[in-house]
Amino acid sequence: MQGDERTQSVNEAGPEANNRSARAHGWRRNKRWLVLVAVVVAAVAVSLWLSRGSSTQEGRPVPAPAGQAVPSPSTGSGGTQPREGEITITISPDKLESAQIKTETVPTSSTTSGPAAGYRTTGTVQSNSYKDVPVLPVTGGIVREVNAQLGDRVKRGQPLAVIFSSELANAEGEYLKMLAELDEHHKHHLRALELLEIGAISREDLEQAVSKYTSAQANVVAARQRLVSLGMTVREVEALKSPEQVRSLISITAPSSGTVVSRTVNSGEVIAGGKELFRIADLGSLWVIGQVYESGLANIRVGTASSITTVAYPDRTFEGRVSYIDPRLDPQTRTVQVRVELKNPGELLKIGMSVDVSFGKAGMAGSAIMIPKSALQMIGDKQVVFVATDRAGVFVQREVRAGAETNGFVPVYSGISGGERVVTDGSFLLRAETLRIK
């Protein structure tokens, strides 16, 4: 009877157990499908990743490369040499390989498809007349020494020449004479005061003594200033007390700092007062005089930006501004002289040099070389590119003047030359390295 109860209990629980078994079987089957789908998805992802990484392998179609990969440090690259003062960036071999830096060669031909120039003309470099000082002796004499040569840089007060002058000796003698007279009149004035107190002289006699003493003081002051004007210092004049101290040598000193651009005197020469012996110019600031036709005057005014270029430095542009426009028109050439004032770093520009002058917004004049936009970087307010040198892994930062982007390219008006290789891919990395160096 107990067996019948167990049988009945099993029969009653059978449907519920069968349902649980079916559900467990279905869950295991779904789990296998989920695992299978996950495996397939992972396989597809791995396949796509591998196909992307191997897209440059032989036998697979690849697009033409946008640039030239930088060679490894063991090979030369035929680049350029760093210029003086340029920032140099060196990339280590392992970092160079992972950075995948690419370069493109700058085309040798230029284009004029950039913004138009305002006005262009030719000009001549001149010294800044406001900083151009002649050296003139105040008296004549015989030149004993010449201590400055053409091209020498001198400082204000530096001796340039020594002159033997009889006029200086006479002026010193006159000064000593005035000193003696002053001493005599001073003593006479003191005696007159004593005599007046005891009634030995009149008030009129005292006034005459005071007048002579005052006149002697004025004569000494005038003689002293004469000696100073002849080149003696105040201390030297004060030390002059006896005829044994009289000297006749005048030291001609530089009136300002700059470069000696003219010398017209030699030792032993007899010169007159006022003759120009030297000329000193500040070559760090120059003038460029350009000839502008009537048709170009409308857009040129004082303060207009100007760009100066010359065949002597084809890769350099000198910036300046118009400082003067001649109010007179030359009736023969129908031109007006326009003066551009500019800095001359390194004194590269020479007086008399012929240059090209472009008036208008800096960087917008003349022909341009087109480079990829990715090669141009901004550091502060400067536009720069990075140029590969002839040493692999070594690049230089080059400041340029570029225009607006057109179809992924920008026109560059100065700073680089045709045949140089600018970095396109990886230029941002070099910019970061430059900022880190600074």
Q: Average of pLDDT values for 362-383?
A: 73
CA angle 230, 236, 237 (to 5 degrees): 70
**Contact residues for 50 (Cβ-Cβ < 8 A; gap 6+):** none
> Of residues 164 and 432, which shows the higher confidence score?
164
Q: Which range, 20-29, 36-45, 129-138, 422-431, has the best average confidence (pLDDT)? A: 129-138
pLDDT of residue 117 exceeding 50, the answer is no
Sheet containing 270-271, strands listed edge to edge, beginning at the edge strand earlier in sequence: 249-253, 159-164, 141-146, 270-271
For 166, how many CA atoms within 13 A lie in the half-sphere containing its CB?
A: 3
H or E, element range at 385: strand 382-388
Percent of the chain with pLDDT over 70: 74
pLDDT at residue 30, rounded to an integer: 60
Q: Average of pLDDT values for 230-244?
A: 84
H or E, element range at 34: helix 2-53
Q: How far is C-alpha 37 from the chain's CA centre?
A: 67
pLDDT of residue 116 exceeding 80, the answer is no
User: What's the pTM value of the predicted model, to 2 decimals?
Assistant: 0.49
pLDDT tens digits, 148-171: 999 999 999 999 999 998 888 888
pLDDT of residue 325 exceeding 50, the answer is yes
pLDDT of residue 264 exceeding 50, the answer is yes
Euclidean distance between CA atoms 392 and 370, whole angstroms: 24
Q: What does pLDDT average to over the chain? A: 78
Q: Are 312 and 318 in contact (CB under 8 A)?
A: no
Look at the chain and count its residues: 438
Residue type (1 letter), 261: V
Euclidean distance between CA atoms 14 and 112, whole angstroms: 94
- Where residue 7 falls among pLDDT bands split at 50, 70, 90? very low
Euclidean distance between CA atoms 438 and 436, whole angstroms: 5
Per the rule left: phi > 0, alpha: psi between -120 and 50, beta: everything else, 336 is beta
The β-bridge relationship of strands 409-414 and 369-372 is antiparallel
pLDDT of residue 229 exceeding 80, the answer is yes
Euclidean distance between CA atoms 282 and 257, whole angstroms: 7
- Tokens 């000082």: give the residue: 133
- Where residue 364 falls among pLDDT bands split at 50, 70, 90? very low
Euclidean distance between CA atoms 194 and 200, whole angstroms: 9
CA angle 349, 370, 376 (to 5 degrees): 80
390: its two tokens: 């002839």
- Where residue 40 falls among pLDDT bands split at 50, 70, 90? low
Q: How far is C-alpha 70 from the chain's CA centre?
A: 31
Long-range contact set of residues 63-66: C-beta below 8 Å, sequence gap at least 24: 65/102, 66/102, 66/104, 66/372, 66/424, 66/425
pLDDT at residue 431, rounded to an integer: 77
Q: Of 6-20, 115-129, 163-177, where does mean pLDDT reach its minimum?
A: 6-20
pLDDT of residue 194 exceeding 90, the answer is no
Output the CA torsion 300→118→380→346 (10° steps): -70
189: its two tokens: 């004035």
For 303, how many CA atoms within 13 A lie in the half-sphere containing its CB?
A: 0
Euclidean distance between CA atoms 286 and 253, whole angstroms: 24
> Of residues 29 and 349, which shows the higher confidence score?
349
pLDDT tens digits, 72-112: 433 334 456 666 667 888 887 777 777 778 888 888 766 54
pLDDT of residue 67 exceeding 60, the answer is no
How many other CB atoms are there within 10 angstroms of residue 152's CB atom? 17
